[in-house]
Structure 1
Amino acid sequence: MDQNITNRKIQHLEIALNIDVGERCNEIYSGIKLIHQAFPNCDLEKIDLRTRFVGYELQYPIMITGITGGVPELKGINEKLALLASKHRIALGLGSQRPMLINRNGEIVETYRVARKLARDVPLIGNIGFNTLQDLSLIDIEFLIDIIEADALAIHLNPTQEVFQPEGDTRFGSRSLDKLIEISEHLDIPIIVKEVGNGLSMETVKVFYDIGIRIFDVAGSCGTNWVIIESNRLKHNSVRRDIAGLFIDWGIPTPLSVIETRWVNTDGIVIASGGVWDGLKAVKNIVLGSDLVGLARPVLERIVNRGLEEANLFIEKFVESMKIAMFMIGAKNLEDARRKPVVLDNRIISYLEQRGIDYKTYIERVRFGISN
């Protein structure tokens, strides 16, 4: 594989694990009030978090979103992620599969394929960048899908990351969109459109909704900050490194991106990711209209620094806090949770109004999947 890509993937992990690159948005979450029910009318031990996703029943509405792949030295990470996903029956996303197209030898491919070998009973999500689609053929895409037996293909949008990446590719015009339309007409698995850390706006969602996409992963600006990661890789005398600080807070916070995405994608699936690193935040996003939640860095950090057992413990604590939060609002299951009352503070309501989203219509209809 291209040594530059190998170095980049290793550097990404090192920076993400050793520099403070997020969790943010505590102020936003404090403005989302779930209503305590002293009579929950349910038993904690009977709270049901099961859901269906791309043909599978998940035990919990959680996806480990794409982290890595393509570097033999990092194969062990995907092995452990697959074991984790299989144990808890949650979905697993892979990192960008572009290295598989640059070098199709067994060692590179195996860093991805190992995930399917160890996680046969959960959804496995492939991954390729939107801006690279214009360079690929349908045969290339089918290779990426078939070699790992993917259940869905994530197309990631990452313009902010690419701007500050030393090797960045900022071709985000219509050629890749045209290619996505062509690809989507031939694939027999769902396509997921996802951000990587700056959130999806309703304008962006509408572009892809109008061509038939019905699964969106918002990856809002509350978690891992790719401006910080990539700017740390730029030379110290680089103009873009010097101006990166202007864009550290760039993007749409995760809960707001969930609302913007659901406002358009009323009949599809919304995944809330981007700093959703505890069960209470997860339940707040589900009450606001998401179907699943996604996370990466907390699991990665535990696998790399503390071991698989600690990663398992993290998921157990995450799930337990979800169940407790649902119990406190009187929600027996996920569908029930989406119909529970929620109060948003004036800053959030003002944001929605300025974005043309009617607050009452959203809370009373759209978050349930009823068209506005």
Structure 2
Amino acid sequence: MTSAQRKDDHVRLAMEQHRAHSGLNQFDEVSFVHHALAGIDRPDVSLATSFGGIEWQAPLYINAMTGGSAKTGEINRDLATAARESGVAIASGSMNAYLKDPSCAHTFSVLRTHNPDGFVMANINATTSVDNARRAIDLLRADALQIHVNTAQETPMPEGDRSFSSWVGQIEQIAAGVDVPVIVKEVGNGLSRQTVLLLQNLGVRVADLAGRGGTDFARIENGRRELADYAFLHGWGQSTAACLLDAQDVALPVLASGGVRNPLDVARSLALGARAVGVSGGFLRTLMDDGVPALVAQITTWLDQLAALMTMLGARTPADLTRCDVLIHGSLRDFCADRGIDTSRLAQRSASTHSLASIDTLHDLTGSTR
């Protein structure tokens, strides 16, 4: 099977998976405590976010998907158009196909040619040489570089890697050898706290947790096997919500992706510490079913609804959502207990802020000063 056929298979199987998905995941076990007088004025809300030397006008991005075949080149062109029209960042799919066969370069470079002024991320695997990492960046004139780590995908992949011990050293070399911020991301199985701390020590600028709940690449690769004999890997790893909780108080900035279904999931992710939130499968489904205008409308609506949620919750910036009280339920709460994560403080973190606000209001009403 050629690389182009494999890329087309990935898109086909991913779409089948998303259309059959129940829609439920562990984001449903995260809820906001409602404070009826916490709201602010909509003009005071800004969606701008910054992290790891990166500044975006919104905390939402189109995450890594595809490239490497004629069909996926058309998808990348349309995704780039949607990113340009909605003003969000975008990442390419794995550029390994281009590094092996430069004739498919145009299936990736459309991300830049159709989005000349946008924030574009190149994407490579952890076995890539520093020179090839620079080639990928140069092709897209990329503003950042994603390195994806995907042992649970490679393992059932018929032609996948079976040697992973060099990845740590190679990530460190790439982070030191390129001139753009390096983001290490999973592909749907999650990054643990220990992994994020390791990445911080390797010189990586940002970690994309990319947890379970969205596209399951172990399932996709098993579907490409003649006997489909790796079904026991379906659902492997931690959910995005679990990864966010596991990474509490880690200094390295984290992004959230994997299973993000709506603006409430975006707000939940930001409240749990993500600096921005990526979407792949959900946006791809809209594009494939309804076209570019529908995807632009979806992204624009999500940003408007996120701002509405922030207004109701009293968060002037995405970072302010980390001061909102959240409750953790069900199996996600069990995960936190086993990992030694104190969820009670998440449910009470607005107390000091509300106390100060109440004092200020009382002083305003009485005319007194502090």
* Fold match by TM threshold 0.5: yes
Is contact 1:89–1:121 with CA below 8 Å preserved after alignment? no
Residue 126 of structure 1 is matched in structure 2 by 122
- TM-score by structure 2 length? 0.87
Is contact 1:22–1:222 with CA below 8 Å preserved after alignment? no
Residue 70 of structure 1 is matched in structure 2 by 68
Counterpart code for 2:238: I
1:81 aligned counterpart, secondary structure: helix
Per the TM alignment, residue 191 of structure 1 is displaced from its structure 2 partner at its CA by: 0.9
- 1:340 and 2:324 are equivalent in the alignment: yes
Residue 218 of structure 2 is matched in structure 1 by 227
Check 1:353–1:314 CA distance in 2 against 1; reply closer, same or farther (3 A cut). same
Alignment of structure 1 residues 163-242 onto 2, 5 Å: 163-173=155-165, 175-235=166-226, 238=227, 241-242=228-229
Check 1:25–1:345 CA distance in 2 against 1; reply closer, same or farther (3 A cut). farther
Counterpart code for 2:111: A
Per the TM alignment, residue 46 of structure 1 is displaced from its structure 2 partner at its CA by: 4.2
Q: Once the two structures are superposed, what CA deviation does each residue of 1:114-163 show, in whole Å capped at 9, x if it has no partner?
A: 21122222221111111x23xx3x22221111121111111111111111
Check 1:24–1:324 CA distance in 2 against 1; reply closer, same or farther (3 A cut). farther
Per the TM alignment, residue 7 of structure 1 is displaced from its structure 2 partner at its CA by: 0.7
- 1:5 and 2:7 are equivalent in the alignment: no
Structure 1 unaligned regions, length at least 5: 366-372
Task: Give 1 or 2 for the bigger CA radius of gyration.
Answer: 2
Counterparts of 1:27 and 1:17 in 2: how far apart (Å)? 18
Counterparts of 2:71 and 2:42 in 1: how far apart (Å)? 43
Counterparts of 1:126 and 1:294 in 2: how far apart (Å)? 15
Residue 145 of structure 1 is matched in structure 2 by 137
- TM-score by structure 1 length? 0.87
Counterparts of 1:282 and 1:340 in 2: how far apart (Å)? 14
Counterparts of 2:319 and 2:214 in 1: how far apart (Å)? 26
Is contact 2:66–2:92 with CA below 8 Å preserved after alignment? yes
Counterpart code for 1:191: V
Deviates more, 1:336-345 or 1:148-157: 336-345
1:36 aligned counterpart, secondary structure: coil
Is contact 2:156–2:230 with CA below 8 Å preserved after alignment? no
Alignment of structure 1 residues 1-372 onto 2, 5 Å: 4-20=2-18, 26=24, 28-52=26-50, 57-105=55-103, 108-130=104-126, 132-133=127-128, 136=129, 138-173=130-165, 175-235=166-226, 238=227, 241-244=228-231, 246-263=232-249, 265-266=250-251, 268-345=252-329, 347-359=331-343
1:228 aligned counterpart, secondary structure: helix
Deviates more, 1:56-65 or 1:304-313: 56-65
Per the TM alignment, residue 194 of structure 1 is displaced from its structure 2 partner at its CA by: 0.4
Is contact 1:40–1:330 with CA below 8 Å preserved after alignment? yes
Check 1:262–1:21 CA distance in 2 against 1; reply closer, same or farther (3 A cut). farther
Residue 370 of structure 1 is matched in structure 2 by none
Per the TM alignment, residue 362 of structure 1 is displaced from its structure 2 partner at its CA by: 6.8
Counterpart code for 1:234: R
Deviates more, 1:306-315 or 1:225-234: 225-234
**Identity, % of aligned pairs?**
30
Structure 2 unaligned regions, length at least 5: 350-370
Is contact 2:47–2:318 with CA below 8 Å preserved after alignment? yes
2:245 aligned counterpart, secondary structure: helix
**CA RMSD, 1 decimal:** 2.2
